[in-house]
Structure 1
C-alpha cells in the first residue's frame, strides 16, 4: 500500500539549528537523525508540522526509566526565546528556497494538498512553547505572518502563559496550576487568527482551561494514552473525550517512553505497543480524531521503524490489525489537514468542507 503520510510533530529544525543552519542536511540523504527529504520520500512522508523549540541552557537529564524530571522554575528570557525561534524559522525558509520547489512552506490545508499534488514536500510551522511571545502578544502577529499555524502554549516548564507538565512516570498530568490570564488571552488570539492550540505539553488544569475558553478544535500533536502508559505527558480518557467533543485531533507519539507501560527509553519496543495506543485512541477519539505525531528527532523511537523511511512498517501494522484503507488514510494523512481546515474556517467564519 502506497500511503501518503502527513506527520503532526518533529524537531528537525532544532537539530539543524544545532548542526547546519543552512538546511542543506535536510535536502540530501544523511546519517543524522530521523528525517531528511530523501528518507521522507522513501517512507511516504509527504509533509509535516515542523516545530521550533528553545531548549533550556541547562536541561536536566531524565532518569531511566523515565522517572521524575522537573523543568527549571525560572523560564527562558523572551529575548533569547525569540532569537532562537526566528533562527529556526529562518532555516525552514532556507530549505524552501534551496529546494527550488521541492519543499514548500504551507499556511493552510489547501496549500498542503496543492503542494503534495504537485509532488512537493509540505512544511507547516509550529512553536513548541510560546516563550518568544511577550505579555502583550505583539510577536504573535509577526510569527503568524511568517507562517506559524500551530502553537504549543508551553513546553514542559512553567511560563507566563501556564504550567507545562513536567516529565514524571508514573504520574497523572494533574501537576500545577492552570492558564494565567495571559495564557487565556493567547488562546483567544490564536482562535482569532486560526492558529491551532496544541496541548501536548500542557498540564491537566491548563488543558481544561483551554477547553473552557477555546472556540476551536483542541489538538495534542504528540501524546498517547495515559491508561496504557502512565506518563504525565499522556492523555487521560477524559481528555481524549474532550478532544473528540471539540472535533479535535491527537497524534500518536512514537517515543518509546510514552508507549511503554514501564516508561523506558528502549528502542526494542515492539510495534504492537503503537497499535495498542492507536486502538485505544480510536475508541475514545473516533476515526476523525487520531493522527500521527512522531516526535522524529526529539525522542527514542522503536527500532523497527528506526527513522522516517520505516513509516510503511507502521502502515503495515494498521492493515494487519484490520484497519480499512479509508481509516489508514485518515490517520496517516487526512485528519491533520481536516482539523487545520476546521480551525482556520472558524477564524474566518466559514464552514470547513468534510472530506470524509
Structure 2
C-alpha cells in the first residue's frame, strides 16, 4: 500500500460520525470528490454522490455506494452526578464497551469520555437472571453534576463516538483502526474516482456514500429513488470469522475481496454474480464467496423501482462494530482493483447480458 492510500484510510477512519451525524465524513468526501466528477449532489438527508457522464448513447447507469456512518451511541439521559446513560446506535457486543475512550460531540464542543465499569450486580458469579446490555453502561466525562454537564452543552441526542488512532501492524501487512465498516467503502470510492480521471466511461457512473446504513439502510432508499440506477453495487465491510477456524464462506483475511452470495435481505442477482466472477478471474483478482448474517444497502436497493440487479463488493475485517478493527491491506487492494475494472468496462452489452441471465 502506498503512502497516499494509507493517509486516506487514516484520515477517513479517524474521522468520527455515527448514524445521523455524518457531517464530518460527508464534508471530507465532498472535498475529495468534487473535482473528480461532473456533478456533485447532496441530499436533504445527507447522502453525497457524484456523477460522471458518458459520451456514449444509451449508456447504462451504474451506481456504486458506500455508507459514511459508524456505530456508536447517543446520550439518553444525564444523571444527577453528571454521568450519561446512552442508547446504542448500530449493533454492539456489550462486552466490548466498558473502559474505553470515546468522544462526546456537543454543539459547544468535543469532550473526552470514558465508558464506565459495569455495575457489579450484573457480573456476580452464578447470577444468570441479569445480562449485560449496552444501556447499562454509564459514560463519564468527569462532570460533577447534571447542571455542570448542561453548562458544557450536553444534551440528549448528542453523539458518543469511539476515539481511536489508526496504526499499521508491525509487519505492515495489516491496519488497525475503528470504523473500517464502512470507511473502506468511502476510501475505495475516492480512489476509484482518482483512477478513472480522463477516461470516457461506457456507463454513467453514480458514485458516493449514504447515511444511516447501520440503523436500517435508511439513506440508500432516497438515493436509489433519486438516481434510478440500472445496476447497484454496495461497497461495504463484513466480519471475518477466521481467528480459530478456516472456512470457505465466512470471510478470511488475505483471501481477496468478498463476493456476497446471500444474506438475510438479499440473494445476489445471478447474472451480476457471474459477471463479477468472470471479471475477477479474467484479471486474476483474488476473491472469496461470502454468506452473511447481516445486510447492506444492496438489500434495500435491489427491491426498489422495478427491481435493480445488485451485488456487494466487500472486504473482511476482524472485530468490527467495536473500538478496533484489523484488516489486511491486500484484501482492500483486491477490492479496489476489481472496482476499477468494473467501472471502466461496464457497458450496455454487459448490462443486457447480466439481466438476461
- TM (norm. structure 2) is 0.28
Give the structure with the higher percent helix: 1
Whose radius of gyration is greater, 1 or 2? 2
- Which structure has more RCO (C-alpha within 8 Å, separation ≥ 6)? 2
- TM (norm. structure 1) is 0.28
